[in-house]
Amino acid sequence: MSRGLYIPEGYKSALTLRETQHAIKYIKDIFQQALSFALTLDRVSAPLIVRKGSGINDDLNGVERKVDFTIKEIDSEAEVVQSLAKWKRMALYRYGYNAGEGIYTDMNAIRRDDDTDNTHSIFVDQWDWEKVITRDQRNIGFLKDTVRSIVKAVAYVKRKVRLRYPMLTMDVCEEPFFITSQELEDMYPDMTPKERERLIAKDHGTVFVMQIGGLLASGQKHDGRAPDYDDWSLNGDLLFWDDVLDNALEISSMGIRVDENSLKVQLAECNAEDRMRFDYHRMIAEGELPLTIGGGIGQSRLCMFLLEKAHIGEVQCSIWQDEIVEKCASNGITLL
């Protein structure tokens, strides 16, 4: 199902198709270096598939269908990952990382139930990252400092891209504005969460909306979050104002991960205590897994933002509805 296609008035890509392909590689090369330096991360290999029923796959909002299949030589079913939120924390434990050290990886996923539009595709590509922290760092101040480091990395890459492609004109606001989802609802009580995000991002340029997952005073959620990776009091979404789309663009979802206490509370709130049968959840409850902070940074989202594109299909190959392909083609939007 599509969320709807937005065609910016008079849109024309600033880059040719070949320039776009070169620029995508350039962005991916330099951003991962900038991210690694900013957060002290090592690159590691990561799975595309995991065993069904292992508890490692991301359940997202708990209703999305995973892509699964049988394996001829193994008496077991496999699933394509939806994200690596849980796998990364287990990897830090297995690889022996210490506080202040972390990892990042290229994550490719298929989310078959996602609604598609200018910024959403069933194919998801992210830099997934995770870092070991201390108990004392499980606070809002440390979360904000980490967000600032990521924003500086994005702004640095934008400057590099503009030097190479001077026809690109958008700037990146380097000072993120921080607001909780409840504060945002209080500001705009009669609007939807996405409408609120658009207004706050238009006002401030770069925004980090904090504390996502739990119920707001209205009885609604700002957005859904799985109960077993982010601590809902210590997480958030990073938004940039996108002039091309005339809207907020979410580049990253991230947060300090659950400890033994927040895991118990959030599983109970979602009636998901049965997940405690999995090793991942048991190891958190028993304090065996390290305390971490982590998130995902959309590769295609970042590329379309920095290259001032109108559709995510201009920077990645995916599958789209026929009418979307036709409408894009007739309005100067070239899908890869």
Paired residues of 270 in beta bridges: none
Q: Are 129 and 295 in contact (CB under 8 A)?
A: yes
Q: Are 152 and 38 in contact (CB under 8 A)?
A: yes
Distance CA 278, CA 55 (A): 6
3 state SS of 16: coil
Alpha-carbon separation of residue 306 from 36, 97, 203, 241, 312 (angstroms): 19, 33, 20, 11, 12
Paired residues of 221 in beta bridges: 215
Distance CA 157, CA 177 (A): 20
For 22, the enclosing helix (H) or strand (E) is helix 17-39
Alpha carbon 81 to its chain centroid, in Å, reads: 14
Q: Are 122 and 112 in contact (CB under 8 A)?
A: yes
Residue in 331, 288, 290 with CA at minimum distance from that of residue 309 = 331
Catalytic residues: 58, 111, 126, 237, 250, 253
DSSP calls for 24-47: HHHHHHHHHHHHHHHHTEEE----
What are the structure tokens assigned to 101, written together?
Answer: 């050290």
**Helix, strand, coil % over all residues of the chain, rounded to 5:** 35, 25, 40
3 state SS of 154: helix
| Greatest extent of the chain over all pairs of C-alpha atoms, in Å | 57
Locate all alpha helices (DSSP H) within 57-213, ordered by sequence: 85-95, 140-164, 181-187, 193-204
Single-letter amino acid code for the residue at 91: A
